[in-house]
Structure 1
Amino acid sequence: MYQTVDVIGAGLAGTECALQLADRGVRVRLHEGRPARMSPAHRTDRFAELVCSNSLKSTKPETAAGVLKWELDAMGCRLLPMARSCSVPAGGALAVDREEFSRVVTEEAMAHPLVEVVREEVTQIPAGPSVIAAGPLCSDALFEAISRAVGEESMSFFDAAAPIVSAESIDGSIAFSQSRYEEGGAGDYLNCPMERDEYDAFVDALLSAERVISRDFEQADLFCACQPIEEVARTGHDSIRFGALKPVGLTNPMTGRRPWAAVQLRAENAQRSAYNLVGFQTNLTWPEQRRVFRMIPGLGRAEFLRYGVMHRNSFVDSPHALDATFAIPGTNARLAGQITGTEGYVEAMASGLLAALNTYAHLAHLPYPRLPATGALGSLVAYATDPATVGYQPMHVNFGLVPPLEDAPRRKDDRRRRMAERARADMGAFVADRHDLFADARQVPAQ
């Protein structure tokens, strides 16, 4: 029997982690501050409460979300089967009755003989082995304790992220490669040029678009941290043309002259398969982002890998503050869930499972698991632990993070299908090779 592990936070990541450790014979103290200390977003004291959407995204096998679910089944995820048992009709997505799902997860965790539930707020990092899965609304006291351990420069209190689009969805006949004042092209940025009428129409749409109505806990100091592009535009019709969309130093090769305005796109990874809309932090709703930002020349058919978000979201600069197992150097604690910058419900389950595997490997003196980077989870972990990652922001699984295929098919659907097949094959081989970690995991599902 191994020493007791403290798991802080009974959300998706924390509950998955606690059950995985307990299933491997590890005693767990699962700490949950509710109901004594409620967060602004939660309504109940139950575990794994879904506070936003009730959708766990696509189940289609050729999507990144579908691949992630397959990988979790292969690794013996505990919460995903519970979600399916509480599912409601949602077409090609997995959606749940949130009340029933939370009830089932809570009962499962509380009934496990090796899980002790402790209803108290944790304000310090435990001295012994622990997993902190406190979520993006981590309490101020614990947030400060983590900040002291990793350094204040490695913590973010607000998530002000610009949208990311798939490179293959950008119209290369319009967008051109060039850095400001560079001659000859082939620069570090892609540029989407706007003529005056296009700019005027874009600003009008931006100012009239529907915005997210923030809760009080999302509003404090928000605009001091980073102005949403629509708020900058409100200060004057040409304000963003002299800011994020300034065209100075650029020459449109199609016209031979400087555009009226230009949206710059910056590569999000070394493969240049995903691009960030520079300066486009926004509080627009997701449907409005899709509508308005597709007005940008070159982005008319843009596929959004991540929409812009702007709300309270405590997270750590994981690539630079944590080690490859998401542990805080110099402590016995590792982080899991959205506080590491892995975003999404199923991603939180996956992060909790991985935290359990890493913690168990440490306690049992086993090699740490190294997930295949060709998979949905492995590529997300590679992104979140790569010191070369610059300007780290929360991210969910997407094919833009996956290494490109050799001899990739021309059609996008064929590429996605091949990527999904490769991911399933590599994860299946990984699970089979690490029998020491997965001896009790369910049989790898059929491909």
Structure 2
Amino acid sequence: MTEGVCIIGGGLAGSEAAWQVAERGVEVWLYEMRPHKMTPAHQTDLLGELVCSNSLKSDQPDTASGLLKEELRRLRSLVIRIAEKARIPAGTALAVDRHQFAQLLTEAIAGHPRIHLVREEVHSLPPDRITIVATGPLTSAPLAAEITRITGRERLYFYDAISPIVEGSSIDFSKTFFASRYGKGEADYVNCPLSRQEYDRFVDALLGAEVVEWHDFEDARYFEGCLPIEEVARRGRDALAFGPFRPVGLRDPYGRRDIYAVVQLRREDMQGEAYNLVGCQTKMTYPEQRRVFRLIPGLEKAVFLRYGSLHRNTYLHAPAVLEKTLRCRQRPNLFFAGQITGVEGYIESVATGLLAGLNAVRLGQGKELLVPPPTTMLGGLLEYITT
């Protein structure tokens, strides 16, 4: 295998794939278009930037997410190792300081002697090179058109939303309490309790808030696991109270009995200088976000470091395009990894990047490609998206 592997996209999947290939003695050319061309969601040029939550979900091995992490640890995942270094308290979840995480990941990739980091946009895929496309749900238009040409399949899409982040020093902690749901782990979440009256006032403001309007050519297809909170509220007045704002499993140390709903804040860094509003994805306009979210007890004077927003996510019709090895059915030397394959979540993207990297090397060596058994988390994930 003399020509090496070409990897497009320096997110979680692309970075993991690049590391796995390079660690097996193969040269890697990793292409990342940022900072020369940014996406609607990214803010930096760092590899593996987390554009949504800073949580990588549960780390408990008796959960699906935790079990997948354990599989990745045993497979010597770089991203999991970096996440442990950038870890911040978040109960039983593996949450990270997003800047430290991306900085450490970038340094590891850029410092590897067999990884050549190329900062430029790719419009077409080399037909004679083993290539991994890990450009994520925000794949640029020219490359997306190239993928459609190669696969002969129209791409699918949905709209995904992200939550606001507020400055820690602007929170009135006298109106909140620290706790983790069901007492699992340390009391790492800031909880803003709402009475029924406060909840109703918040929902009224939310339902009446101005939102960023759809363009005429846009079809509102949301990802059900990450709905804007105004969309959740429209589905039922108490939908938030029984969903992301549910108070169950949280014990108020002050013994208040009128708590109807709770808004949780998760720290963004070890120092607690920034907090993410958990489950508060939104497409409200910026002025309306300030008005509505400041109705939450403790956030009356909140300073917003990042506003919530909405972006379009593109992905493949995996059953028609991908084998369980993540190899493209229409081009045998092409692999896909990450959210573009149709998986959802940071760790799921890392897992597909790891497997694509391993199989890219094996293809170049003339070896049989790996298909994890469906009794594993990774194997089950691939079984699900490709059938």
| Pair 1:65-2:59 in alignment | no
Percent identity, aligned pairs only? 40
* RMSD of equivalent CA atoms: 3.5
Query: SS at the partner of 1:30?
Result: strand
CA distance in 2, matches of 1:23, 1:347: 21
Q: Please tell me the residue identity of whatever aligns with 2:43.
A: R
Counterpart code for 2:318: S
**C-alpha distance in 2 between matches for 1:76 and 1:371:** 16
The aligned length equals 282
Alignment partner of 1:158: what SS?
strand
1:234-383 alignment runs, 5 A limit? 283-284=228-229, 291-292=238-239, 311-331=311-331, 332-383=333-384
Partner of 2:142 in structure 1? Answer: 141
Q: Which residue of 2 aligns with 1:120?
A: 120
Structure 2: 5+ residue stretches without partners? 162-199, 249-280, 283-309
Q: Is the 8 A contact 1:214 1:311 kept in 2?
A: no
Contact 2:229–2:240 (CA<8 Å) still a contact in 1? no
Q: Judge conservation of contact 2:122–2:143 (CA < 8 Å) in 1.
A: yes
Q: Which residue of the partner structure matches residue 150 of structure 1?
A: 151
Q: Any idea what SS the aligned residue of 2:22 has? A: helix
| CA–CA distance in structure 2, aligned partners of residues 78 and 134 of structure 1 | 18
- Per the TM alignment, residue 157 of structure 1 is displaced from its structure 2 partner at its CA by 3.5
Q: TM-score, normalised by structure 1?
A: 0.57
Seen in structure 2, the aligned counterparts of structure 1 residues 210 and 344 have a Cα distance that, compared at 3 Å, is farther
TM-score (norm 2): 0.65
Q: Compute the displacement of 1:227 (Å).
A: 6.5
- Give, as a single letter, the amino acid of the residue that structure 1 aligns with 2:88: V
**Equivalent residue letter for 1:292:** A
Q: In the TM superposition, what is the alpha-carbon distance from 1:361 to its structure 2 partner?
A: 1.7
Where does residue 252 of structure 1 map in the other structure?
none
Partner of 2:52: 52
Of 225, 232, 251, the match for 2:219: 225
Q: CA separation in 2, counterparts of 1:314 and 1:336? A: 13
1:76, distance to aligned residue in structure 2 (A): 1.3
Unaligned residue ranges in structure 1 (runs of 5+): 162-203, 229-275, 302-307, 387-447
Q: In structure 2, the residue corresponding to 1:3 is in which secondary structure?
A: coil
User: Deviation at 1:209?
Assistant: 8.9
How far apart are the structure 2 equivalents of 1:215 and 1:111? 44
Give the superposition deviation at 1:326. Answer: 2.3
Asked if the contact 1:227–1:281 (Cα under 8 Å) also holds between the matched residues in 2, the reply is no
In structure 1, what is the Cα distance between the partners aligned to 2:156 and 2:379? 24
Is this contact kept in 2: 1:160–1:226, CA < 8 A? Answer: no
Per-residue deviation, residues 391-444 of structure 1 (Å, max 9, x unmatched)? xxxxxxxxxxxxxxxxxxxxxxxxxxxxxxxxxxxxxxxxxxxxxxxxxxxxxx
Look up the SS of the partner of 1:342 in the other structure.
coil
How far, CA to CA, are the matches of 1:368 and 1:209 in structure 2? 54
Contact 2:321 2:330 in 1 (8 A): no
**Does the C-alpha gap of structure 1 residues 111 and 95 become closer, same or farther in structure 2, counting only changes over 3 Å?**
same
Max Rg structure: 1
Contact residue 31 and residue 119 of structure 1 kept, 8 A: yes
CA deviation profile, 1:209-237 (whole Å, cap 9, x unmatched): 958x9997x94457x42477xxxxxxxxx
1:11 equivalent in structure 2: 11
Change (3 A) 1:227 1:77: closer
Query: What secondary structure does 2:102 align onto?
Result: helix
